[in-house]
């Protein structure tokens, strides 16, 4: 299979680590060595005779590994291609939005479900089936999921790893204060966080932290995921009834208000990004936080070194340990190709030779950068001890599943919610002191109104699964 052998010569480009704090016009044009952020400047203008392929990513946890592979590709490929790789950390989605507006999209982007959903109906993503041979289609057949990455007979990305969210905790801190196991209920978690903070805050050690600088980012990796299991309604959407209902978030938000109080939380959570949080966790200053299962092993092995014996993970606690549904897991490490780029075929060649090669995928899993969901890789790879010894890093069929998309993600631009979105509304409760019950009822009313208006305007459609079982969810 020639496409797999490309891995042996795998080779990749100069990587510009564009660590951006904001997203102004200058940020959206972050450049690498040859000076182009997008794909609309010709290869000749950029770098003489070479064809330049630009790639954007949001993932810092695997940046060193990806950079190594791109450097190898640039040094060894015989197709006269140079790959330029830019990393956007905190403002990936804003950078893409600006690139769309200015028609300066890169040739390839790492998978972001929000970005994918936002622009899939506008023709931005190439159909990979147009370029894949039969061997490649067969190799990845287990991760081609109708309604997810395959729509209307078109394949838009190939997830090679999977992720969900877990509670990460410092085992050493737990032992010091006498906590014997990870909390199973949100009530226990609050009490454990209070115990750690009251006992150890004099040493600068606190019970809980979350990256709350962005309500969307912080809650999407923590509270929202726990609520999927607790309520059986992804993002507050009841698929059986075909309507939003956020009112049963009340008990969780009351406990989260405690979690984020000074009795429990690391000071400054309201302005904390995820990497500064991880730095403090690695330094032994935080007892618990929640984040993505695919990223943390690589982070603590490579980015912020931490002894593996000092941390572990567990399911996200729910109120009263209530479980009425499964929580999402999603594919990661996929790439979307810009269908409007000038070098789509060569971009696919780069994708195939680097990111779809067996060499790359085995190394990625073994390096702790993600949990492979490709059967052939699972059979051949020897993953790190973390993945062998910490069972909750892996996708678990008892708790995790692919979930259908509620309206606001199924047709992102077609449903316009008046006022604050669900994330900022939650923030108004746990930081702003807004009344929980009335605020959640108002949120429910606003989302349902926006949904119905989208249907009436033809910018959306009805999403209803009458026999929907949250414990055995099906894609809509």
Radius of gyration of the chain (CA): 22
Q: How far apart are CA 254 and CA 252, in angstroms?
A: 5
* Residues pairing with 372 in the sheet: 161
pLDDT tens digits, one per residue of 83-109 = 999 999 778 999 999 999 999 999 999
Q: How confident is the model at residue 314 (pLDDT cuts 50, 70, 90)?
A: very high
As given in the structure block, the two tokens for residue 328 are 């999402």
What does the pLDDT look like over 178-225, one tens digit per residue?
999 999 999 999 999 999 999 999 999 999 999 999 999 999 999 999
Q: What's residue 384's pLDDT?
A: 85
pLDDT digits (tens, 9 = 90+) for 221-242: 999 999 999 999 999 999 999 9
Q: Does domain 165-328+399-476 have CATH number 3.40.50.300?
A: no
Q: Domain extents for the chain? A: 2-160+332-393, 165-328+399-476
Matching CATH topology for 2-160+332-393 and 165-328+399-476? yes
Query: What is the spatial distance between Cα 149 and Cα 49, in angstroms, rounded to a whole number?
Result: 35
pLDDT digits (tens, 9 = 90+) for 22-51: 333 333 333 333 333 334 444 444 445 899
- Residue 113, both tokens: 């479900």
What pLDDT digit, counting tens, does each position of 323-368 carry?
999 999 989 999 999 999 999 999 999 999 999 999 999 999 998 8
- Average model confidence (pLDDT) across the chain: 89
Q: Which two tokens stand for residue 51?
A: 């064809």
> What's this model's pTM, rounded to 2 decimal places?
0.80
Domain 2-160+332-393 has CATH 3.40.190.10: yes
């Amino acid at each position: 299979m020639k496409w797999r052998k490309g891995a042996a010569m795998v080779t990749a480009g100069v990587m510009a680590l564009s660590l951006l704090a904001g997203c102004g016009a200058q940020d959206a044009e972050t450049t690498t060595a040859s000076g182009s952020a997008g794909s609309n400047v010709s290869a000749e203008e950029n770098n003489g005779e070479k064809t330049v392929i630009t790639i954007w990513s949001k993932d810092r946890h695997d940046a060193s590994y990806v950079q190594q592979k791109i450097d190898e590709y640039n040094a060894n490929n015989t197709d006269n291609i140079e790959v330029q790789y830019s990393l956007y950390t905190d403002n990936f989605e804003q950078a893409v939005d600006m690139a769309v507006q200015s028609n300066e999209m890169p040739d390839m982007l790492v998978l972001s479900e929000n970005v994918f959903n936002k622009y899939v109906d506008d023709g931005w993503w190439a159909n990979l089936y147009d370029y894949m041979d039969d061997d490649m289609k067969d190799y990845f057949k287990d991760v081609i999921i109708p309604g997810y990455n395959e729509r209307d007979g078109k394949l838009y990305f190939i997830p090679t790893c999977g992720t969900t969210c877990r509670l990460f905790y410092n085992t050493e801190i737990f032992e010091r204060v006498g906590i014997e196991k990870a909390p199973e209920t949100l009530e226990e978690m609050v009490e454990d966080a209070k115990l750690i903070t009251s006992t150890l805050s004099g040493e600068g050690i606190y019970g809980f932290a979350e990256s709350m600088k962005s309500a969307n980012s912080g809650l999407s990796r923590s509270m929202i995921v726990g609520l999927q299991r607790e309520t059986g309604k992804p993002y507050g959407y009841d698929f059986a009834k075909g309507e939003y209902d956020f009112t049963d978030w009340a008990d969780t938000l009351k406990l989260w208000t405690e979690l984020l109080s000074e009795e429990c939380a690391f000071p400054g959570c309201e302005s904390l990004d995820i990497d500064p949080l991880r730095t403090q966790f690695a330094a032994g200053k935080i007892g618990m936080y929640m984040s993505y299962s695919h990223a943390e092993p690589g982070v603590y092995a490579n980015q912020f070194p931490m002894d593996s014996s000092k941390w572990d993970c567990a399911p996200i606690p729910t109120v009263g340990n209530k479980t009425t549904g499964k929580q999402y897991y999603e594919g990661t490490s996929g790439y979307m190709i810009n269908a409007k780029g000038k070098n789509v075929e060569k971009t696919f060649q780069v994708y195939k030779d680097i990111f779809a090669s067996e060499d790359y995928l085995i190394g990625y899993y073994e390096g702790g950068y993600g949990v492979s969901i490709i059967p052939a890789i699972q059979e051949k790879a020897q993953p790190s001890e973390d993945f062998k010894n910490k069972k909750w890093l892996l996708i678990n069929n008892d708790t995790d599943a692919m979930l259908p998309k509620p309206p606001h993600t199924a047709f992102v631009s077609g449903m316009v919610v008046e006022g604050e979105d669900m994330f900022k509304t939650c923030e108004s409760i746990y930081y702003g002191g807004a009344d929980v019950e009335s605020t959640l009822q108002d949120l429910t009313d606003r989302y349902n109104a926006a949904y119905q208006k989208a249907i009436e305007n033809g910018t959306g459609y009805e999403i209803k699964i009458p026999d929907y079982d949250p414990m055995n969810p099906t894609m809509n």
